[in-house]
Structures are given as C-alpha cells and as structure tokens.
Amino acid sequence: MLLQGAREAVVEHCLRMRADDLTVATSGNISVRVGELVAVTPSGVAYEELTPAGVCVVDLQGRPAEAGPVPSSELPMHLAVYRATDAGAVVHTHPLYATAVSLLLDELPAVHYMVATLGGPVRVAPYATYGTAELAEVGVAAMAGRSAVILRNHGATTHGPDLATAYTRSLYLEWLCRLWHQASLAGTPRLLPPDEIDRVAAMLAGYGQPRDPTTS
C-alpha cells in the first residue's frame, strides 16, 4: 500500500477534526504530500468508517496512483496549495467561528499575538463554488504570505510543513476567530500593531526546545 504512514496520519487527524469541532459530518478534508504523491481523504466517507486503505493516493496532477475511491471534491484546492507553497500537508475545515467570520469580515485582524503563527492577519477569500478550480485559485491567492485562509461562506484552509503543524494551525485559526467573535459581542476589539506581530513571529521562530545537534 502506497504511503501507508501518511494514510494512517490522515485517518487519525480526520477523527481528531470531528472531536475538535473543526467540521461536521463528512465535510472537510486532509492531505499529506510525500514527494510527488499526495494522500488525501476520499469523497463522502464518514470519518468513523475511514481506514488507511480507503485514503486516496494521487499525483500532483490529481491522477490516481493506485486504484481506490474517488478523492475529495476539494482536491483541486489541495493541489493548488502544493503548487504554490512548500507545504507538506493541507487541512481544510468547516469550523463554526471561522465560517461565521467569513460572513462578516474581509480579514481576521490581529486580536491576539498568536495570529503570528499564521503569518499575520488572515484574509477572507471571495466566495466560489466548492470543489472548483475557481475556489482553488481565489483561496491560494488570499493565502499568499500566510499559512491560512478563510473562505467566504464556506470554511478555512491551513497548511504546514507536516500534518501536525497544519492541523495545529487550524486549531489556532478557529480559536482566534472565536476570540474575535466573543470580544465583538461586547464592543470593538483592540488590535495589535503590525510591528508587534512581526516581533512575535521572530520570537516564535526560536520557540520550543533546542534541537539536539547530535541527532539528525
């Protein structure tokens, strides 16, 4: 079975996506790139029924690498992200708060310094029909310089060098959208200036435990 590890990771994170309220029913989709191949969720399969063997594997043109189910309808968006970035994984969700923000704003502003983890304030892409090349195009354009985009009247997409990072960015994005929503209920949120977001981004580049130089 091609890309067994990647397929197992896709299944694991699909189940987490439901548990973390990042999507409902069979909506949302996840992919992982390994070289010139992509493991991606199938279309319309309940996540609790999804197995690694049921995860699709395609090449970067969307052609199946082996026999299997039909890939997610949002495959064009995933492939567009891989063409435009050095992403190793893409997570597309239908979260409540990010989708609500898409109805109200053209950009999620800097309500908290953690917006720096996404590259800065997150743009809202114009509406386009799901699964289309147009959606892929407007989504990637609005994602320029960012690792996240909100899709108007639809949901959100994040990417990262690996699936763990891409998924964590989806969690951060939904939390930031919820924070904006909660603050807006009480008044006008106070925002952080761009230079502070740049400062935090530089600090986050060295965040965490130092890498052991004796390992590789």
Evaluate whether 140 touches 126 at the Cβ level (below 8 Å).
Answer: no
From the number of C-beta atoms within 10 Å of its C-beta (0-12, 13-18, 19+), residue 139 rates as buried
- Give whole-number Cα distances, 63 to 4, 36, 84, in Å: 18, 11, 19
* Residue 74: active-site member: yes
N- to C-terminal Cα distance for the chain?
A: 27
Which two three-digit tokens encode residue 85? 């970035």
> Looking at 74, 107, 134, 196, which residue is catalytic?
74
- The set of catalytic residues is 74
